[in-house]
Structure formats: C-alpha cells, structure tokens
Amino acid sequence: MKTITVDIITDYICPWCYIGKKRFQNAMEDLKNQYAFQINYVPFQLNPNMPAEGQNRKEYRSRKFGTWEKSQAMDDAVVEAGKSEGLVFDYARVEVTPNTQKAHLLTQYASIFNKHQVISDKIFKSYFTEGKNIGSDDILTSIAKSIGLDTDDEIFKHYQSDDNKKILENTEHQFKLKGVISVPLFIINNVALSGAQPTKVFIEFIKENAI
C-alpha cells in the first residue's frame, strides 16, 4: 500500500481549519484501503502577537470585524457548516480568543508518540465546542492527560522550552517563505490545496497527487 505524506497547515482559532480537517479525515477514511497516510501538522499562528493570556473574544472580534453583529453573522455560517460534518461550534461558551503557541507546542510534543492527530481533534473540540481557553497550561495539561500522555514525565515539562519554541518558529517561517499566507492548507507532493474543501474534492486531490 502506498504511503502518502500530507502537510496540513492550520491554526487552532480557525474554525475552517477544524471543518477542513474533518473533511480531509473523511477523505482518508474513504481511501484507507488504497493509501496509508502520514500526517504532519504544521503550525501557522494567525495571531502571533496575541497576549499569552488571550483577549476577550467579543472585544477582539468586534475590533477585527467592525461590529459584534458582523462577527456573529460569520459565526452563524460556521455553525451551519460544522453541523454538516457533525461538529459542534458553541460560540456562546467561548469567552477568550487564545494565544495558540502552546497548543501548537503540545501538538509538536504529541507527535513524538504519534498522538498528534488525536490531540489536534481534542484541542479543536475543547475550544470550539467546550469554550475552553486552549492557551491555558491547565487546560492543555488536562487535554494531554485525556489522551494518555504522561504529564509528570520530564520530557513533557520541557515541551514549552525555548528550544521547542524556536523549532516551532522556524517551521512557521519556512512555510511562510514557501508562500503560505492563509489556513487551512493541505500539501501532497508539493501540490497545495487551500480551504475547507468538500470531502469529494479532497478525495480527488489525493488521488491526483498520490504519485
């Protein structure tokens, strides 16, 4: 069976990244008897200058989009799109727009144990469905424990080290140099497909580029 390596460039505050990830997972499930997939999650912080503690979401989104009502209209569109994929977006519970650096660092750490896909799902759900601040150490530690990672291990204690942050920054920088300016983005064999495409589009994309 042919193994396909896929780079998925994403950020945890991007709802379309969550939806796109789910649709791509559906495509992989459809093609599981034809291909084996090796998934690499590539960090792309949409708000790299966000304070470590995050910001009040209503205030932040109102400034970003002009009015809270406009932000809510955009949220409504996301909620409907999520429903079609079985994803729950409960924005009424989301009080904080977080800094996502630590969430990406945790994903980077989980990849050591080949648990990056499951922890990615957990982080997205924690934020969009449960309204948790995924920039919080306590929340991220709880997520790590929930998938069986040993949070008492010395290696875990260093996942937020300066060295690991530098690796994260370098990874982001390298993909920006390649022209990445938005997320989600899916790359197979140096061919990129942008956006939360329908599952059938992802299926064709995989077949066409699985060379």
Alpha carbon distance 207, 211 (integer Å): 8
The pLDDT of residue 15: 97
* pLDDT score at 147: 96
From first CA to last CA, the distance across the chain in angstroms is: 12
pLDDT digits (tens, 9 = 90+) for 86-127: 999 999 999 999 999 999 999 999 999 999 999 999 999 999
For the stretch 12-42, pLDDT in tens is: 999 999 999 999 999 999 999 999 999 999 9
The predicted structure's pLDDT at residue 88: 98
**50-91 residue pLDDT tens:** 999 999 999 999 999 999 999 999 999 999 999 999 999 999
Q: Which pair of tokens denotes residue 196?
A: 């939360």
Domain 2-209 has CATH 3.90.1170.50: no
Convert 36-73 to b/e letters by CB count within 10 Å (16 or more is b). Answer: ebebebbbbbebeebeeebbebeebbbeeeeeeeebee
* Per-residue pLDDT tens over the stretch 183-193: 999 999 989 99
Give the per-residue pLDDT at 154.
86
Task: Kindly list the distances between the CA atom of residue 69 and the CA atoms of 16, 59, 130, in Å, as whole numbers in the listed order.
Answer: 20, 12, 22
Domain boundaries, given as residue ranges, for the chain: 2-209
**Helix (H/G/I), strand (E/B), else coil: 34:** coil
Element (H, E) at 179: none
Rounded to whole angstroms, the Cα distance separating 67 from 70 reads 5
pLDDT digits (tens, 9 = 90+) for 145-169: 999 999 998 889 899 999 999 999 9
| pLDDT at 211 > cutoff 80 | no
Structure tokens given for 135: 């920039």
